[in-house]
Amino acid sequence: MKFFKSKFFIVTAIAATSVAAVFTAMSLLGYSSYVKSAVNFIAAPAQKFADTVGRAVDGYTSYFSEVDRIKKENEQLREQIDSMLDEVQSAKAVKAENDELRRMLEVKAEHLDYKFEQADVIGREDGNYMTVFTLGKGKRSGIERDMPIIAGNSGLIGRITDAGETWSKADSILEMNSSVGAYVERSRAAGIVTGDYELSRKGLCRLSYLREDADIEPGDRVLTSGVGSVYPRGLIIGTVTEVGFDESLREKYAIVKPYAQIYDLSSVTVVTSFEKYTEE
């Protein structure tokens, strides 16, 4: 082969043979200790290099072993965190359900004539700020058209507008076609709460048809009057945030913030039965 015939190979071979011959001769002449020292001197760099490489390999092996251990530990921690988050969410759901049932019991204790049916909100039409809900219960659960719906804290939401066997539709008091007889709890000033397109975008409604001298102030609570028989008397509609006067209609009006969180509902309570209010 060309390599064995090359000058580099020949020179290297001659040098190696010469060194070996010198070492052999020195050993025969009794200078073996010098030979060992020379060999050790020559071999030391190679041994040091081999030792360094060995330690580096061990270091890399330990490093990757540690990385694998950390990865496995992180995976276990992630699994534990996911499990804990699931438990927290379950606990929150149970608490929310308990809170809702507790509020329903409080309302029931205050209004002994009420009968309730709780229903989940399974859909909503919120285009152009509409607040029309689809509920997961209907006629089979005793839900019929024009029944009022409230939040668990007795805050008025609206009324049922249509009902099928297993579903129903409901409009909130923010809708344009909504009309609720109302009165101011403090002064007994009477009016009608209606939906307003611009106000509904802010989650507000309007108390109209108030007399010019109606006693009403920001902070007053507005309740259902029971007039019209669709809504029972005394449900909380909301709180007055602003009072104004309509010059063209020559009447006072008020802006009302609903008590119920209408834009953030997951379930509602349908009042399926109540005593009709009659004015004395």
Query: Which pLDDT tens digit goes with each residue over 195-217?
Result: 998 998 899 999 999 998 999 99
State the pTM of this model.
0.61
In 3-state terms, what secondary structure has residue 227? coil
> What's the chain's average pLDDT?
78
Q: Tell me if 193 sits within 8 A of 256, measured CB to CB.
A: yes
Q: Is the pLDDT of residue 25 over 70?
A: no
- For residue 229, what is the DSSP state? S
First-last CA distance in the chain:
125
Please say whether the structural domain 115-273 has been given the CATH code 3.90.1170.50: no
The confidence score (pLDDT) of residue 164 equals: 95
Give the residue, 11 or 183, on which the prediction is more confident: 183
**Are residues 228 and 181 in contact, defined by beta-carbon separation less than 8 angstroms?**
yes
**In the prediction, which pLDDT does 265 show?**
84
Confidence band for 262, pLDDT divided at 50, 70 and 90 = confident
* Dihedral sign computed on CA atoms, order 162, 163, 167, 173: positive
Percent of the chain with pLDDT strictly greater than 70:
65
> Per-residue pLDDT averaged across 171-194, rounded?
94
Mean pLDDT of 59-69: 69
258 residue type, one letter: P
Residues 6+ apart with CB under 8 A from 222: 182, 183, 184, 185, 193, 207, 236, 237, 238, 239, 240, 254, 256
Please state, in angstroms and as integers, the Cα–Cα distance from residue 85 to each residue in 81, 98, 233, following that order.
6, 20, 43
pLDDT-derived band at 88 (thresholds 50, 70, 90) equals: confident
| DSSP structure string for 86-124 | HHHHHHHHHHHHHHHHHHHHHHHHH-TT-EEEEEEEEEE
Specify the DSSP class assigned to residue 263: T
Domain residue limits, the chain? 2-60, 115-273
Please give the structure tokens belonging to residue 245: 């006067």
Angle, helices 7-28 vs 32-110, to 10°: value is 110
Q: Do 256 and 206 touch, CB atoms closer than 8 A?
A: yes
Q: Is the dihedral of CA 51, 53, 58, 59 positive or negative?
A: positive
Q: Is the pLDDT of residue 219 over 80?
A: yes
Top pLDDT among 189 and 38 is at: 189
**Residue pLDDT, tens place only, 122-168:** 988 755 456 888 999 999 999 999 999 998 667 999 999 999 999 99
